[in-house]
Every structure is written in structure tokens, then in C-alpha cells.
Structure 1
Amino acid sequence: MLHRCSHSVFRTRPLSFALFSRRHETTAASVSVQPDKVLYRGPLTNTFRRLKIFSLSSLSLVTTMAPLMFVVESNLPMTARAFLASTALATSGVSTSLIGWAGRSYVTTLRIAKNPKTDRVQEIEATTYTLTLQPRITKIYDPAFTTRCSRPFAKWELLELVLLPSEMRSGSAAPTPGSEEIVAETFDAKGNVVGRWIVRWGEGGEGNCRGEGQIIRYFNVHEELLPPVTEDTSTS
């Protein structure tokens, strides 16, 4: 059985705003809390929603109208009609796919949960929507598994490779080589798990992550709109 991640790690490319604390306790994830504070709401939520509705409506209209091109009387040869119909379908399909791809990572709501003992951010909950406007709620059980990314229409991503700090690579705090833990999970509107991001620990505190199912790995947020959150600024 897989367990939620209980090892806090340091990022090689840390997020540079005050949402996440610079240090994490190894016992942080052992305290069960629920994200209950809305930290951020995406300002382009309605824009993406309208784009998706318009794109799906256009695709449905083109799909419905395409057969009529072969029925209506016209001087165009059958090959020309087929070309026009296929071009319209391809154009609408590509634009719909692009909008779905770009909008899949857009975060409409961001919630955080803090460790009641340390007041540090322990868990992140990001809500996104699919092309068909179905909500996807992704819970990241350790913020240290996130980093900046350069992919278009995304600011953060879940790490593929992590390395524990030197002081955690030995002793009771070190993970067992070959063991696996759940870093993040994506849920549908009914609370069913549709995807997971899992870390598999190797020798020397190195962890390789992989996705299973329909995990949301990329997140598009307006970092400039994130409010400051108190963090621990003491030295490591």
C-alpha cells in the first residue's frame, strides 16, 4: 500500500515567493489537516470558461454542418466539398485541442493547509477544469515537490527528480530504497482519485517521480497576485 509522502525535501530551484516555507520538518506530513484557506482565485477563470464553451460549441456546429456540404446542391465537385469539410473539422478540432491544453493547467482556486504546530504550509490544493468544464482538484502533500517550469501556460510543475538534504539521507528519517510514496493526487468532483504523482526512493536519498492516471502536473497561476504568507526565515 502506498502512503502519502512524509519526507520534506529542498528544491534545487525553489519558488521565490513567500507562500512556501524555506524549511520543512520531517514530521510535518504526519499531522492530518484539510486545506481550508482560499489563498488565490484565478482572475481569468471566466475567460477560460467562455473560451472552452465557445470552442466546444464551434466544434459541435462544424461537426453537425459538415455532412450538409455533401447534400446541398452546388457546382463544387465532391472532392472540393470533402476538402472544405475536412479543413473545417481539422481547424476547429485543432483550436479546441489547443484551448483544452492551455486551459487544463489554469488554476481557478488555490487553497493551503498549515501545520498547526509550526504554522508552516503543509499541503496545497489547486482546482483546475477540464475542456468539458469538469473540476479537477489536485492535492500536493509536500510543497517541496514543486518547482518553476518553462512550459507555456504553466508556472509550476511537479518535480520528476528530488534529492533529500544530506542530514536526511541516513538514520531513521531516511526512506527505504525501493519504497514508494504518494506526492500528489488529483480528484474529480465526486472525490474519486483519477491520478497520482508517486516518488520511488533510491539509494542516497534520491527520488524518481512518475505519474499514474490523469494526474495534473502543471499549474498556471498569476504569481504576482499571490498574497504574502508568513514563512520561517531562520537559517537552515
Structure 2
Amino acid sequence: MLRQFCIARPLLRWSPSCIASTPARQFRPVRCLLACRSFASKTAPRSGDALSKARVPIKPLVGAVDYEGPLSSTFRRLKIFSVASLTLSTTLAPFIFVIESTLPTIARSALVCAALGTSGISTALVSWCGRPYVTTLGRLTPSENNGVEGLEMTTLTLTLRPRITRVYDTEFLAETSRPFAKWELRELIAYVTDKMDRAVPAHGQEETVAETFDKAGNVIGRWIVKWKHNSEDGRDYVSGQCRAVGKVERYFNVHEELLH
């Protein structure tokens, strides 16, 4: 049962100050670079549909990058070193059994497991900590985002492959409790119907509020909201439950003090 209701407000610099929450988790609004009054009217795939493999044309935000992560090069070097060390450990591990030594086989096996385990764990930690880090962030202009403004954020995988995530409605971004991340895509959002300054979505309607692309412009994941109409205490409200389809990037790490 929803404990709070988010009242839609006029266009603001920040997200709404109150949002729907679950009893086990309390979200706080995120201080975004910009906010949108309405979400992009994109057709979202239904639950039974496969993610489209067709290439989606993406125009780079040339000259429209509003933010560059100051630690981008640091995370890049750290990922390169981590992957290189894991590769080197994996390559050299068999030689421990080949070289002449007085160590028994059990001891050699222990050394191999320790070396691979240490390198593997450190690489996994680097991947987990560095994946949400946003290298560049820019605005989506209304002309390219169905009449509203949005955000485009670029992150890097462990192998330095770019992942471009477009958030078509910044009201779906909230502060997160995940370490090494500032924002996350919300799982739940709700509005009081008579307070909304946007078109009320139909019951059961699904919309894409964020998409993740690879470097070639292929959609690899979507964040989809499904709207539902409810009434409680004599008030009508519409709530949205979100889910991921494919491999969508959900967490983002930005330096909020650098946003302007």
C-alpha cells in the first residue's frame, strides 16, 4: 500500500519534493541538472516482446555536453590495470605447475587459487565500483526528445565499452543508497490525479522512460513504467511500477556539486 503521494508540480529545477515509497525503502528526490514536466511518449515493448535488435540512430551531443566526470581517466586506467592483471595471472598460473620446485602439488594449487582469487575479486570490485561512474552528461533538447527535455549519460563497462543511457523523464531519477552511486532509476512513482500538470496516462499503459544503447546505437535495455489507477481516502491517484527489459543501466555516479 502506498504511504505517500507525489503531487505533480510546474516545471522546476529539481525533481518533486515528495515521491511514492514502499514501507521497506524511502527514496529522496534527486537534484537533477534539469527536470521535465512530462515523459516522452515512446511505445514500450510489452512483457512478452523481445528487445528490438534493430539499430537506433543516435546523434552524438556535439557541443551539448554539460558535464564531464573529473575522475573518468582515473577509472579508465584502473579498469585497464585490473583487466591486465587478471589476464596476466590467468596466463601465468599454469607455469606454477610446470617449473621445477620442491613444493607439493597441493601447495602449488593453493598458490594458483590464491593468485586467481585475489585478482578476480579485485577486478570484480573495480567493475562494480566503476560501472555507474558517468563520464559525460548532456541534455536532450525538446526537438529530439518529443517536445520535452531529458538527460543522456555515458558510462563505461569493465572492458571500456561505452553505455549510453537516455533518461526521457528526470522525475524517474532519485537518490540511491547504493555505494559509489548518486542516482538510480525509481521502481515506483505516484501522482495525485487532480494535481497533475500533465496528461493522465491510461490504466495499464506502458511507456519507456529510459533506454541504454551500445556504441553502435543498438538498444540493449529499457526501463519501462506501467501505470495503474487507484483510489484511497476519497482521492484518485495514478501509480507507476517500473521494470527493466534487457541490460539497462540503472545506477549513476555523478559529482552533483559540478552540475549547474
Q: Same fold (TM over 0.5)?
A: yes
Please give the alpha-carbon distance, in whole angstroms, between the structure 2 residues aligned to 1:109 and 1:115: 19
Query: Of residues 206, 215, 222 in structure 2, which corresponds to 1:196?
Result: 222
Counterpart in 1 of 2:30? 15
Amino acid at match of 1:209: C
- Residues 1:29 and 2:79 aligned together: no
Separation in 2 of the partners of 1:125 and 1:61? 36
Q: Does the alignment pair 1:220 with 2:253?
A: yes
Q: Which runs of 5+ in 1 are unaligned?
A: 1-6, 228-236
How far apart are 1:202 and its partner, in Å? 1.4
Comparing 199-208 and 213-222, the one that deviates more: 199-208
2:142 alignment counterpart: 115
For 1:121 and 1:110, the matched residues in 2 are separated by 17
Residues 168 and 174, structure 1, Cα contact 8 Å, conserved in 2 = no
Which string of whole-angstrom CA distances, capped at 9 and with x for unpartnered residues, describes residues 3-39 of structure 1?
A: xxxx99845232236x224xx444x7369xx784211
- Out of 174, 198, 211, the position equivalent to 2:244 is 211
CA contact (8 A) 1:35 1:123 kept: no
Deviations 1:97-118 (A, max 9, x none): 11011111000000012437xx
Over aligned residues, Cα RMSD in angstroms?
Answer: 2.7
Per the TM alignment, residue 214 of structure 1 is displaced from its structure 2 partner at its CA by: 1.1
Q: Which amino acid is the alignment partner of residue 243 of structure 2?
A: R
Structure 1 counterpart of 2:121, from 73, 76, 94: 94
- Give the whole-Å Cα distance in 1 for the aligned partners of 2:115 and 2:124: 14
- Taking only the aligned residue pairs, the percentage that are identical comes to 53
Aligned counterpart in structure 1 of residue 207 of structure 2, from 181, 184, 205:
181
- 8 Å contact 2:89–2:116 — kept in the other structure? yes
Number of equivalences: 212
After the TM superposition, which segments of 4 or more aligned residues of structure 1 sit over 6 Å from their partners? none
**1:162-204: per-residue Cα shift (whole Å, max 9, x none)?**
102432679x922222221101000000000011101111123
1:150 aligns with 177
CA separation of 1:128 and 1:169: change in aligned 2, threshold 3 A: same
TM-score using structure 2 length:
0.75
For the residue of structure 1 that corresponds to 2:159, the secondary structure is: coil
Looking at structure 1, the residues matched to 75 and 224 of structure 2 have their Cα atoms a distance apart, in angstroms, of: 30
Residue 47 and residue 88 in structure 1: after superposition, are their counterparts in 2 closer, same or farther (change >3 A)?
A: same
TM-score (norm 1): 0.82
Secondary structure, aligned partner of 1:206: strand
1:140 is the counterpart of 2:167: yes
Q: Cα distance, 1:93 vs. partner?
A: 0.5
> Residues 87-132 of structure 1: CA distance to partner in whole angstroms, max 9, x if unpaired?
110110011011011111000000012437xxx9711000000000
